[in-house]
Amino acid sequence: MNRLYIRLAVILFSGIVVLQVSSCKEDKKSSEVTIAKINFKKEGELQLKKAISDSLLVSLDIEIADDEYSTQTGLMYRDSMKDTHGMLFIFPNIDYRSFYMKNTEIPLDIIYIAEDKTVVSIQKNAKPYDETSLPSEGPAKYVLEVNAGLSDIWTLEKGDLVEFSKQ
């Protein structure tokens, strides 16, 4: 009789193992990755002006990056940006800044701005995905990113003025 119980226990145990293994094979996990599109969110307005004449070069709608996550992420993972949009980084301190284009899909002009809101320097035509350091030429509190080539179209130069307001 004990042999019968042992055989039944072995058969029952084997059946449970087979069911578990076969059910695992049927629970296929999806290998698809869903990438969420990041949309522009207007958080303020910015004007660029010539230093010599105070004439308006351009007005932009801006997103603002002023916390650790948004300043680290910036415009990464976006596939486009309108020429009337930009991202303004606001830092808590004044320092030499350096940006790079890791995970950034669109070419950019990176405009470094001093605390007094004058342009310190411009890194033009930063290449997508390039991890080369793109430093400022002087201490900056703000950085503006816009589509590559726009700073030339606007004739923006070192010393020109920036005004902005948050919404």
Q: What's the helix, strand, coil split of the chain in %, to 5?
A: 20, 40, 40
Helix or strand or coil: residue 148? coil
> Residue 32: what pLDDT?
72
What gap in Å lies between CA 54 and CA 37, rounded to an integer?
38
CATH number of 44-166: 2.60.120.1140
So what's the pLDDT on residue 83?
A: 98
**33-61 pLDDT tens trace:** 666 778 899 999 999 999 999 999 999 99
Residue type present at position 97:
R
How high is the pLDDT of residue 24? 47
For 98-142, write each residue's pLDDT tens digit. Answer: 999 999 999 999 999 999 999 999 999 999 999 999 999 999 999
Residue 62 pLDDT > 60, yes or no? Answer: yes
Q: Which amino acid is at 129?
A: Y
Report pTM. 0.79
35: tokens are: 């990438």
